[in-house]
């Protein structure tokens, strides 16, 4: 169903897909099933800034999810038959459609999720335009058959290669904090790899999820290759337990563990991105102004509702006073307001529940000795939503909840440390391990420190930017998740990596039966000749020459 308030997509005939391949019959079946389905309740989407209705979508019952996966599975083989270059052309078409709808989509993201309008462009839309082009440019090379060298002397007649085959149907369960860019990149890479996709958008941002599906249809992808399912957690659970061959899940640690376990029980993979508690380490030789600006952006972009946002700062005592003063000064300059305003830098919290959680963590920290230097809940004229002005805390300790739990709000706790060693120890003192940043003018030192931080990503003198560069892998360790999205590794998550090997059969393999003493001695001598050192090779040749010769003759007598 098209999202309320958005135009219907331009229907494109599936017969246009690739070398005459036409999934018309599967589409007809899928359409019949949809027409036969009973009406279901609508899921309403509300503007978090104003409380106004943005639109609504139809939900599905958990029992219908498997049927939708089956529908996609009927269309997918026709798509998989296309060449990689053909699929790349469709990716470029999708980029063209996205550029044509850029302003409309930016407004929708700001209205439905609450992200400031400028961030809707910079953090959601521009990265996906770039991702489509990168996928189109690099995908064919990454997914092409890969010749595998066979350097072993006893395997010289064999030819081997890796073949990257589509899995079939991939399930994507999306979050509300980046409801466009996170699922869009995962859907696009899965499609480029030859798969169909069932997308479950977050219940707080269903209209954005619908627009992802509509965009691919407008770009000429086969109708039914990308489907959306809307509903609560039970619908997501049904998708995980369906016949979808891979699940991409972004969400909480608790649910992520359940997703991973359910997928493993069905012998399929899951890519899990479960949030973070990213540290920023500010070394004594850091560029102070740059570190201050980076802390403010990394901590408060998207109202702090970013899994890879800066949630802990460890600043060396030599810079602490200037750093803290700079952060407070720049934080107090940020504009809190209507996310549709061009100058707004902090929008609303996505929901009242999220605002209450953030406020609770801040209040707990203050009650246990932390000091709030600025920020806190505020009212915005003409807005009914929950707004929190960016908040800076000092005097925090690792015993406080706010240093252990994910804040997911515009709060920046700052800890003063006496050494870089102390900063590293505290940075690693977390159950999370998504990203981290080190701020120093000494690149070599920054890279040494990066290797000692237990996380999936480390940025030096920047933070989190690489989610907008699709060539960079994205994912974490520890409770931050499992697997990777984006990059060549994201492609590998979406395929079956198959080894195909060819042997011309000119001789019989020497290790085949019958076994005898000659074979054993020939193998022993071969190991020494190929891999031995110093004088062992000469001894091996002298002792094993006869056995090697006799075994060699046997390989030429096939069938004897």
534 and 440 fall within a common domain: no
Domain count, the chain: 3
Q: In angstroms, rounded to a whole number, what is the distance separating the alpha carbons of residues 108 and 61? A: 26
- Residue 297 makes CB contacts below 8 A (sequence gap 6+) with 463
Q: Are 99 and 219 members of one domain?
A: yes
Cβ–Cβ under 8 Å, residues 385 and 339: no
Structure tokens at 383: 């807005």
User: Are 223 and 313 found together in one domain?
Assistant: no
Exposed e or buried b per residue across 308-338, where buried means at least 16 C-beta atoms within 10 angstroms of its C-beta: bbbbbbbbbeebbeebbebbbebbeebebbb
Tokens of 121: 């462009």
Residue 76: C-alpha distances to residues 140, 494, 524, 552, 553 (Å): 18, 14, 51, 49, 51
Sign of CA dihedral 106, 109, 115, 116: positive
Give yes or no: residues 432 and 464 share one domain: yes
Prior bond of 514 cis (ω within 30°): yes
Q: What are phi and psi of 354, to 5 degrees?
A: -65, -40
In a domain, 332, yes or no: yes
Question: Does one domain contain both 253 and 354?
Answer: no
Strands (E), 380-494: 387-394, 411-417, 432-433, 435-439, 457-460, 477-478, 481-482
Q: Is residue 260 part of a domain?
A: yes
Q: What is the pLDDT of residue 542?
A: 82
Enumerate residues 6+ apart whose C-beta is below 8 A from 215.
94, 97, 98, 101
Burial class (CB in 10 A: 0-12, 13-18, 19+), 508: middle
Cβ neighbourhood burial of 525 (10 Å; 0-12, 13-18, 19+)? buried
- Measured CA to CA, the distance from residue 103 to residue 201 in angstroms comes to 21
Beta bridge partners of 226: 197
The four Cα atoms 334, 335, 337, 338 give a dihedral, to 10 degrees, of -110
| pLDDT given for residue 538 in this prediction | 81
If we measure between CA atoms, which residue out of 181, 202, 198 comes closest to residue 190? 198
For the chain, the first-to-last Cα distance in angstroms comes to 68
d(CA 488, CA 491): 5
255 within a domain of the structure (yes/no): yes
- Please indicate, yes or no, whether residues 287 and 269 belong to a single structural domain of this protein: no
In the block, tokens 């899965």 appear at 190
Query: For residues 213 and 225, what is the distance between their CA atoms, to the nearest angstrom?
Result: 9
Mean pLDDT, rounded, for 154-179? 96
User: What is the three-class DSSP state of 248?
Assistant: strand
pLDDT tens by residue, 184-202: 999 999 999 999 999 999 9
Q: What is the mean pLDDT of the chain?
A: 92
172, exposed or middle or buried, with CB in 10 Å at 0-12, 13-18, 19+?
A: buried
Q: Do 253 and 383 sit in the same domain of this protein?
A: no
d(CA 325, CA 130): 37
| pLDDT tens column, 544-559 | 899 989 988 888 877 6
What pLDDT score does 369 carry?
A: 98
For residues 279-306, give the mean pLDDT: 98
The whole-model pTM stands at 0.91
396 in the same domain as 327: yes
In which residue are the tokens 């995908």 written?
Answer: 139
Q: Does some domain include residue 18?
A: no
Render pLDDT for 108-154 as a digit per residue (tens, 0 to 9): 999 999 999 999 999 999 999 999 999 999 999 999 999 999 999 88
Q: Is residue 353 situated within a structural domain?
A: yes
Q: In terms of residue numbers, what domain contains 558?
A: 502-560
How many whole angstroms separate alpha carbon 411 and alpha carbon 310? 9
Q: Which pair of structure tokens corresponds to residue 475?
A: 């994912």
Q: How far apart are CA 436 and CA 416, in angstroms?
A: 17
Answer yes or no: do 207 and 317 share one domain. Answer: no
Asked whether residue 17 is domain-assigned, the answer is no
CA distance 359 to 401: 12
Digit-coded pLDDT (tens) for 366-376: 999 999 999 99
Instruction: Quote the pLDDT of residue 170.
Output: 98
The Cα–Cα gap between 7 and 218 comes to 11
Q: Which CATH number goes with the domain that contains 442?
A: 3.40.309.10
Residues 261 and 347 in one domain: no
Query: Do 307 and 373 have their domain in common?
Result: yes
Final residue of a structural domain among 420, 453, 471? 471
- Classify residue 553 by burial, with Cβ atoms within 10 Å: 0-12, 13-18, 19+: exposed
The CA distance from 380 to 205, in Å, is 22
Of 107-121, 344-358, 514-528, minimum mean pLDDT range: 514-528
**Sheet with 146-148, edge to edge strand ranges:** 146-148, 159-166, 495-502
At 41-80, the pLDDT tens digits run: 899 999 999 999 999 999 999 999 999 999 999 999 999 9
The conformation of residue 286, written as its DSSP 8-state character, comes to S
The lowest-confidence range among 8-12, 473-477, 498-502 is 8-12
User: What is the mean pLDDT of the segment spanning 401-413?
Assistant: 98
Q: What is the pLDDT of residue 23?
A: 39
Output the pLDDT for position 539.
Answer: 83
Alpha carbon 539 to its chain centroid, in Å, reads: 55
485 & 506 share domain: no
* Residue 53 resides in a domain: no
Q: State the CB neighbour count (10 A cutoff) for residue 99.
A: 11
Residue 128: give its domain's CATH number.
Answer: 3.40.605.10
Residue 558 lies inside a defined structural domain of this protein = yes
Q: Answer yes or no: are the C-beta atoms of 432 and 410 closer than 8 Å.
A: no
């Amino acid at each position: 169903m098209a999202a309320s308030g958005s135009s219907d997509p331009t229907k494109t005939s599936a017969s246009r897909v690739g070398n005459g391949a036409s999934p018309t019959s599967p589409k007809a079946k899928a359409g019949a099933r949809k027409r036969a389905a009973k009406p279901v309740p609508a899921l309403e989407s509300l503007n978090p800034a104003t409380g106004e209705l943005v639109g609504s979508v139809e939900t599905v019952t958990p029992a219908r999810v498997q049927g939708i996966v089956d529908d996609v599975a009927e269309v997918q083989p026709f798509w998989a038959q296309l060449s990689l270059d053909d699929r790349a052309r469709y990716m470029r078409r999708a980029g063209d459609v996205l550029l044509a709808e850029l302003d409309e989509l930016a407004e929708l993201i700001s209205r439905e999720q609450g992200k400031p309008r400028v961030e809707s462009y910079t953090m959601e839309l521009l990265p996906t335009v770039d991702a489509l082009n990168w996928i189109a440019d690099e995908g064919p090379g990454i997914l092409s058959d890969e010749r595998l060298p066979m350097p072993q002397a006893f395997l010289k007649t064999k030819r081997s290669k890796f073949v990257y085959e589509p899995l079939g149907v991939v399930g994507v369960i999306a979050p509300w904090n980046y409801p466009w860019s996170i699922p869009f990149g995962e859907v696009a890479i899965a499609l480029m790899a030859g798969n169909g996709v069932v997308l479950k958008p977050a219940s707080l941002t269903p209209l954005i999820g619908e627009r992802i599906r509509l965009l691919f249809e407008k770009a000429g992808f086969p109708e039914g290759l990308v489907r959306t399912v809307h509903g609560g957690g039970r619908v997501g659970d049904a998708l995980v337990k369906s016949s979808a061959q891979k699940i991409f899940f972004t969400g909480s640690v608790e649910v992520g563990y359940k997703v991973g376990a359910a997928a493993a029980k069905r012998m399929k993979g899951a890519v899990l991105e479960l949030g973070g508690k990213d540290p920023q380490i500010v070394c004594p030789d850091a560029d102070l102004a740059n570190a201050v600006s980076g802390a403010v952006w990394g901590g408060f972009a998207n109202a702090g509702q970013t899994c890879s946002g800066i949630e802990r700062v460890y600043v060396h005592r030599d810079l602490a006073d200037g750093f803290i003063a700079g952060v407070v000064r720049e934080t107090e300059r940020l504009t809190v307001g209507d996310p549709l305003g061009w100058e707004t830098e902090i929008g609303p919290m996505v929901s009242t529940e999220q605002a209450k959680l953030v406020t609770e963590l801040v209040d707990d920290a203050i009650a246990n000795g932390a000091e709030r230097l600025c920020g806190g809940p505020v009212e915005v004229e003409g807005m009914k939503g929950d707004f929190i002005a960016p908040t800076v805390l000092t005097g925090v300790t690792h015993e406080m909840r706010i240093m252990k739990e994910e804040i997911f709000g515009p709060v920046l706790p700052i800890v003063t440390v006496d050494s870089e060693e102390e900063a590293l120890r505290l940075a690693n003192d977390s159950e999370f391990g998504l990203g981290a940043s080190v701020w120093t003018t000494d690149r070599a030192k920054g890279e040494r420190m990066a290797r000692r931080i237990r996380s999936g990503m480390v940025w030096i003198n920047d933070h989190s930017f690489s989610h907008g560069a699709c060539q960079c892998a994205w994912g974490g360790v520890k409770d931050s998740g499992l697997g990777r999205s984006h990059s060549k590794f994201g492609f590998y998550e979406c395929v079956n990596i198959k080894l195909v090997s060819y042997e011309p059969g000119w001789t019989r393999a020497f290790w085949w039966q019958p076994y005898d003493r000659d074979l054993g001695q020939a193998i022993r001598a071969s190991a020494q000749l190929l891999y031995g050192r110093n004088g062992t090779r000469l001894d091996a040749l002298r002792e094993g020459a006869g056995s090697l010769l006799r075994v060699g003759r046997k390989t030429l007598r096939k069938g004897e």
